[in-house]
Every structure is written in C-alpha cells, then in structure tokens.
Structure 1
Amino acid sequence: MSSQVGDRVGGLPTFAALDCYAVLEQERQGASIQIDESYFRGQLKAIDAIDSVDLRKRREIITQSYDLINNINVDIESFTEDNLQTASRRLRQILQQMPEVQYLKHNFPGTCFIVPEWLRTQGRIRYGARIYFFREDSSPDPEEIIQRNIETIMSDKQNGFEQYQGRLHGYPDCCIDYFSSYDRRQDVAPELDAIEPLTDAINDDAIRGDSNASTSIEEFFDGIFEYPDTYAFFAREFYPQPGCNQARQQGISIYDLLYDRYPETLVNDFFRINVSWSYRVAQNVSSPNESSSRPSPGSFGREHILFYLPLSSIFALPKYSDEDEH
C-alpha cells in the first residue's frame, strides 16, 4: 500500500477525498460537494476536535470562506430565465473568489469548479453552491450545468435535473430513473425504499440519540457488512434502487479500490457514514416532525465529524493510523 500522506487527494476533506479517488480511478464519472453551512461547520468542529497546530491555515481558509458566503446577497427583481442567468454569472464570479474554492482546486489533480445551484423548496426559489470534481478528460462545461439547473427551476420539474446530476456523478441508470420517476404525492419516498433493506442492521435508538458526537459510528450498526445492499451506498446522497445488482457491484468495486489503498477501518466507516446519511434523510422525509435540513456534523458519531478533516490529517488518529493497515 502506498503512503496516504502523499495521496493525490490528501488535502481534501476525507469524505470528499474518497469520492474523488474513485473518480480519478474511473470508478465514477464525477463527484460534488454542496457548499453550505454544514460543510463549513463540520470542518471547524473537526479541527477543534483534534486541536492541531498544522491545521491553523486550514481553519483560516474555512473561516474566511464561511464569512464570504454568509455575506452574499442575491437580489432578483423577478424570477425569469434571463434574470436567473444574470444572477448566476454574478454569483459565480463571487464564489470563484472564495479561498475554499482555490484550496480545493489546488488539492485535486483533475478539473474542479464551483457553480451556483438554484433550489425550489416549498414554492420558493433560493440559491446555493456546489463544487464539482471530474477527471480532465470527462468534465462537462460549467455553463451547461448552470443552464440545466435554471431550465429545471423555471419548469418546476426537478426530476430532469436530478437525472442529469445522477449521470454526472456516475450513478447506475436504473437507480437514476428509479429516483426521478416517483410521485411524492402518491408514492413512498425513494429515500425510504432505498434504505429499507438495511433497517434490521441499524440501531434506530442510537442513531437518533442526542449525544451522537461522542459515540462511535460502529455502535449504530449490527453486522452491517453482512448485508449485500450496504455496498450499494458507495456515495453520500445516493439512493440506490432496492436490490439493484449494478449498484451493489459498483459499490463492491469502489470498496475494493479503497481497501487496496487505505486502512480497512477508514473504508468501512466511509460506507457506514453513507448509509447513516441516507437513513437520516429518509427519516426526515417520512416524518413531518423531523427537521428537513441536512444531517448536522456529528449526527452519526465522532467519525462523522472526523471525516471533515483533510484525508492526510486523519491518519494521525489512532483508529486510522498506518499501523492498522491490512
């Protein structure tokens, strides 16, 4: 096994680095990170958790970027396609100046770019940002992503953009069609269907606890890797079609790829976090009493927080040290 510290994606947050390594090794088409409050808060909590002098510069970059994105104001007179295109151009110019964007570009040996992302929730249009990672030979034009997003917002048919994004991320076509073809007003949410095969292996009481940040993620599961569908959760925010053999096989291939390079504990926790993320989102979707926001850092145990650390930093921790390599 080669040295992890010198890894090509070692500067990226661990959860993103493992996704991006699969992209570079042609196991996936692309990967992305939603740049939001949770992303910045997670990294700050992770840095606080280990109190490393080596991460002071990293903290500075995160703090500056967090301040910048919190102070962006988007003023649109009316929601027309032309106005959204104009706002997107202005917003992207600001986002490209973010220190975090420059940091991620510097630490990814492929094509990396940020685009604004328009979202329609509860009848309202709001903006966000997403940074994408592709191999240099397979990167789409950022303007195409922006245009597809705007067209979807204007037509109020989100499934078209969901299908497009699914293919950008290299998900199986059958799973993309499964997720985008349901009717939320009539059908069971696909998030619930996707996670259902694994519910017997999930400790529901533990994962819903109030002090998860001090608990190991291993306590949330019982024999999770004895369930073949676990391997279908090879990416965060991916909801495989239940029983999809193509998703399982792609996940097994990614698991083996990561296992050949990284400690087994790291690879196992990567899949556990992916399953946990999908499970928590599924619960939020199904219950009107649950928060509709994305899972907060630490929701799935202390490893969930630690995965916000740069990959090169996580190997200094006893659980993931080189001494535990297989």
Structure 2
Amino acid sequence: MAKKKLGKQTVVFDNPPSIISTASIVGPKEGQGPLKDYFDMVLDDDLWGQGTWEKCESKMQQEAVKMAIRNGDLKESDIEYLFAGDLLNQIISSSYAARQLQMPYFGLYGACSTMTLSLSLGSITIDGGYGDKVVCVTSSHFSTAERQYRFPLELGNQRPPTSQWTVTGAGAAVLSANGNGPYITHVTTGKIVDPGVKDVNNMGAAMAPAAADTIVQHFKDTGFTIEDYDLIITGDLAAIGKEIAQDLMIEQGYDVSSIYTDCGIKIFDNEKQDTHAGGSGCGCSATVFCGYLYKELQKGTFNRILLVSTGALHSPTSALQGESIPGIAHAVSISNKIS
C-alpha cells in the first residue's frame, strides 16, 4: 500500500528533505538581468576557458556541484548520489561532469523540467531512507542548445517573436535528511500533455498545458488552496506560455494569477535584453531557484512556494519528421516549515 501517496500524482514525505545549500553559475547575459545579485558566479564569457560551448556547460555543472557542497560546509565524499541532467544528446554535460566528480550518478532527462525531476527523485531517495545527502543539478547553454535544436549560430537566423532565449547557467542544490529547511514536502509528478504544437520556436505554447495540468492536479491531490502559497512559479514558459497556462487554469476554476510568475520572465529584462518571449532551458528554473528563490526563502520573503519546471520532450529528429512536441511538468512544494 502506497502510504505516502496523495491522490493521483502526488507524494507527501514523512521526513521532508532539507535543502541545506545551493549554488548558481550563469553566463554574461544572465548576469546583466534583474536577478544578477542572486547568482554565486557570473561568467565573463560563454566559453569559460574551454574549447567548446559543450565543455563550458559541463564545467558549469561540475563547478556548481562543488560550490553547493562547499556552501553547505560539506565535503564531496559526504554526497551519496548525484542526480543530474541537461538538454544535450545523451546528456553529455551531466555525464562528463559526473566523470570528474566520481559520485554515484543518476543521469536524468526531462528536457527543461529536469530541475524539479532531480529534486523529486532526490527527495524520494532521502525520505525512503536510501541516502542522507544528495546533490541535484541541471544546466543549459544558449549556444549548445541552439545548434542542437535549431540552427547553426553562424547562420544568424532571425528569431520569431515566440522564441525564447535558452539560459546559460547551472544550478545545484544539496538535499539532506537533516537540516533547518527550506523543506521539500510534496512532489507532484507530471504526465505527458501534448497540445499538438510542432513549432520548435514556440516552446511556451507546447509546455503550457502540461504546467496547468500538473498545478491543478497538485491542488486536487493535496487539498491545498491558492492561499496556502506565497508563490507559484513555472520553469520556462516565459510570457506566451505563462499566459496560456494561466488561462487554462482559470478555465478549471483555479485563478492563480495573483501569485503566479515564471522563471523565464524573472531572469531577463526583456525590454532591455531583447529575449523575445523570455528565458528557457534546463538552467532557467535551476538558476532562478538555486539563486533567487532559495535565498528569498531563507530570508522569509516566501514561506511556501510551488516550483513547477516544464519540459518539451522533442528531439531534432522528431522535429524534422514532423512530430508534435509532448510537454511535461513536475512540481515540488517547498516550505520553510514542516507541515
């Protein structure tokens, strides 16, 4: 019997894992945005001394893990499992970082939903008694993602208004069986929702229905109301996807507009930085959470938030074959108090 299961898609933890430390590393463009003061490190360039953008992304992930461990006054040997993922084929950023870190490694792929996917599985591991300390990390890089999913950057293709700017960044969080919070209290695992969108330059529209579906299901499963949360924040729907998700939730009787925003909106100043619809990528919710949100939770600005990372589960091959883009969204409820 699943004693910790709530409703259809949610689990509640008997011993909620504590997020004892985080770290965030971002690229130059992200370091010029409105959240610049929250990040642990801002790179001067998007290669960081490496020969390729892919190597830079892997280095960001590796160093974010090390930094988060140091920020928690821990040693690398204290970490029992590494949960990591990224956007690239065969999650090479994560696997090559794990090669250097030499920690027991779970390689994850949930597209841009991977941050909450890693936090979900890391929390389940700790609450289940399978480990005391784990690290969850996710990364993306504008240049690696663009040339994998869209066009060679050298072509200088014009970007349509619906396109989003993939965040160059990595965020890592250390979860522990012991600590003073913030705590991950609930996890709502999403299911695939495919609205039939085929435009790889309109990720917000492809992912928005999945975000709305998971958030509504979270409320149904837990019995929480909108008043129980200080903030609901999706991963990288940006401006277009956020509006769609908000409308879909209103249609189902859940008007969260007063407390709802999106990491892809928060990380850039679109008027000054021209990111079109806003930010996206695995590193979007990872850096916004591990930088801005975690520090505001510690300050008490927020006492309970719902972080909902969203992912578009397509590939370059599926897009060329004319397939639609399946969406997924996973939610973690994070609270300063165990309740």
Both structures adopt the same fold (TM-score exceeding 0.5): no
Q: Pick the structure with more strand per residue.
A: 2
Give the structure with the higher percent helix.
1
* Structure whose CA Rg is larger: 1
Q: TM-score, normalised by structure 2?
A: 0.32
